[in-house]
């Protein structure tokens, strides 16, 4: 059977039909790719805006309590916001979008903000990148091809200062007698207590010291001079039983006579060495987390177990700070004292 030359050489109609489909598919894939870039930009920008407004609210309410001044609080919010990048530039807040008021705990454990009031203890900050905001809206990269030039994210954050029950748990093991560490710890404790004295709310504080075993020196009290006086009677010696001491602090904020059911509860744990006696601090940290108690940790000196203390803080949502010298230790206590006074509620 012979095949006609016309049939043999005829171009395939199927191959020609595929070309438009391939062209359309390439266009669709291109559109999807460029839109994915803009969608990712939107998510990143919103996250940056949330971080900036959270930080501004914290700074504002901290300054409000420290300076007892609304203008000072506004200045603090503006300064901190400008240090946080949103879509490539520091966020500029509208001062009229910084509101002052009071916060109250609801029966379900949540908090509500009410603008105004006699005793101000909360600040709400609204961060915007809109057509009416100082920095304007955020430009889109590729969506402009489809008529969408910008998007306008808005975030708000509210921070408050609340009463706290605080257990201070301090290392007085033998190594604290070296290199002037013990006097430095005394100075750091005094700075911590002085910061608490500046607040408008009432903190109740207990003191536990530990070496081989923990010793509860002061139950929760609002008289912070008792804490300082009790520590003056201490001296270093013994091993380092961090876990047992942390458990005493946990019991203190829960069960001391003056422990308050609705106060926020925190533990400040300091060590200059390595845990080497009794129950592991990580086990007790899990107990603190279950009880809703935040543990802030400070390590002092190069020999301290930073990794372990960071794990304890991270487990409970606390702050970990390492100090190499006296000045850094004082700064660590001051920083944590200020953070204890602030809570994001929205």
Distance CA 174, CA 272 (A): 10
Tens of pLDDT along 52-98? 999 999 999 888 877 888 999 999 999 999 999 998 999 999 999 99
* Of 291 and 62, more confident: 291
In the chain, where are the structural domains located? 19-160, 164-344
pLDDT at res. 133 = 93
- Look at 104-108, 136-140, 243-247 and tell me which has the smallest mean pLDDT: 104-108
Alpha helices per DSSP H over 11-69: 13-67
Pick the CATH number of 164-344 from 3.50.50.60, 3.40.50.410, 2.30.130.10, 3.30.365.10: 3.40.50.410
DSSP 8-state code for residue 142: S
The single residue listed with the structure tokens 């057509």 is 131
Pairing of strands 98-105, 320-323: unpaired
271 neighbors 169 (Cβ within 8 angstroms) = no
Tens of pLDDT along 229-238? 999 999 999 9
| pTM for this entry | 0.61
pLDDT at res. 162 = 75
Three-point CA angle 157, 158, 162, nearest 5°: 150
Report the share of the chain in percent with pLDDT over 90: 62
pLDDT at res. 185 = 96
pLDDT at res. 144 = 61
Distance CA 190, CA 182 (A): 13
pLDDT at res. 340 = 80
99 neighbors 56 (Cβ within 8 angstroms) = no
Q: Which residues contact 101 (CB under 8 A, 6 or more apart)?
A: 113, 114, 115, 116, 117, 120, 122, 123, 124
**Count of residues making up the chain:** 346
Query: How far is the first Cα of the chain from the last one, in angstroms, to the nearest whole number?
Result: 85
Give the DSSP per-residue string, 331-342.
Answer: HHHHHHHHHTT-
Tens of pLDDT along 4-34? 555 555 555 555 566 666 666 665 666 555 6
pLDDT at res. 11 = 55
pLDDT at res. 3 = 53
Identify which of 182, 253, 189, 244 has the alpha carbon closest to the alpha carbon of residue 212. Answer: 244
Q: Element (H or E) spanning 191, and its range?
A: helix 181-197
Residue 205, classed as helix, strand or coil, is strand
Q: At what angle do helices 281-290 and 242-255 cross, to 10 degrees?
A: 20
Q: Please compute, for residue 331, the number of CA atoms within 13 A of its CA located in the half-sphere on the CB side.
A: 8
108 neighbors 97 (Cβ within 8 angstroms) = no
- Taking residue 58's Cβ as centre, other Cβ atoms within 10 Å add up to 23
73 neighbors 94 (Cβ within 8 angstroms) = no
192 neighbors 266 (Cβ within 8 angstroms) = no
- On the question of pLDDT at 38 being above 80, the answer is no
Structure-derived torsion over alpha carbons of residues 37, 42, 47, 53, reported in degrees to the nearest 10:
150
Distance CA 285, CA 312 (A): 6
- On the question of pLDDT at 222 being above 70, the answer is yes
Three-point CA angle 27, 29, 32, nearest 5°: 110
């Amino acid at each position: 059977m012979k095949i006609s030359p016309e049939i043999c050489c005829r171009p395939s109609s199927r191959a020609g039909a595929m070309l438009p489909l391939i062209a359309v598919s390439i266009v669709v894939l291109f559109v999807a790719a460029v839109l994915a870039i803009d969608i990712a930009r939107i998510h990143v920008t919103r996250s940056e805006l949330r971080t900036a407004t959270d930080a501004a609210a914290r700074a504002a309410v901290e300054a409000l309590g420290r300076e007892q001044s609304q203008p000072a609080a506004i200045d603090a919010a503006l300064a901190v916001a400008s240090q946080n990048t949103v879509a490539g530039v520091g966020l500029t807040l509208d001062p009229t979008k910084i509101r002052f008021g009071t916060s109250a705990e609801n029966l379900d454990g949540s908090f509500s903000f009410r603008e105004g009031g006699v005793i101000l203890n909360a600040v709400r900050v609204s961060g915007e990148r809109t057509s009416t905001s100082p920095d304007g809206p955020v430009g889109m990269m590729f969506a402009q091809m489809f008529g969408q030039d910008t998007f306008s994210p808005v975030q708000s954050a509210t921070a408050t200062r609340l009463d706290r029950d605080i257990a201070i748990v301090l290392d007085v093991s033998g190594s604290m007698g070296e290199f002037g560490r013990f006097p430095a710890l005394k100075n750091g404790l005094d700075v911590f207590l002085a910061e608490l004295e500046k607040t408008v709310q009432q903190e109740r504080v207990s003191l536990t010291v530990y070496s081989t075993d923990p010793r509860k020196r002061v139950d929760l009290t609002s008289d912070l001079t008792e804490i300082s006086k009790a520590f003056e009677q201490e001296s270093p010696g013994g091993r380092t039983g961090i876990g047992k001491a942390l458990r005493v602090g946990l019991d203190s904020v829960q069960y001391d006579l003056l422990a308050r059911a609705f106060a926020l509860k925190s533990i400040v744990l300091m060590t200059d060495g390595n845990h080497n006696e009794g129950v592991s601090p990580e086990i007790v940290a899990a107990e603190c987390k279950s009880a809703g108690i935040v543990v802030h940790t400070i390590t002092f000196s190069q020999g301290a177990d930073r990794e372990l203390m960071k794990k304890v803080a991270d487990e409970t949502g606390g702050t970990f700070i390492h100090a190499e010298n006296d000045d850094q230790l004082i700064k660590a206590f001051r920083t944590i004292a200020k953070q204890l006074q602030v809570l994001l509620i929205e």
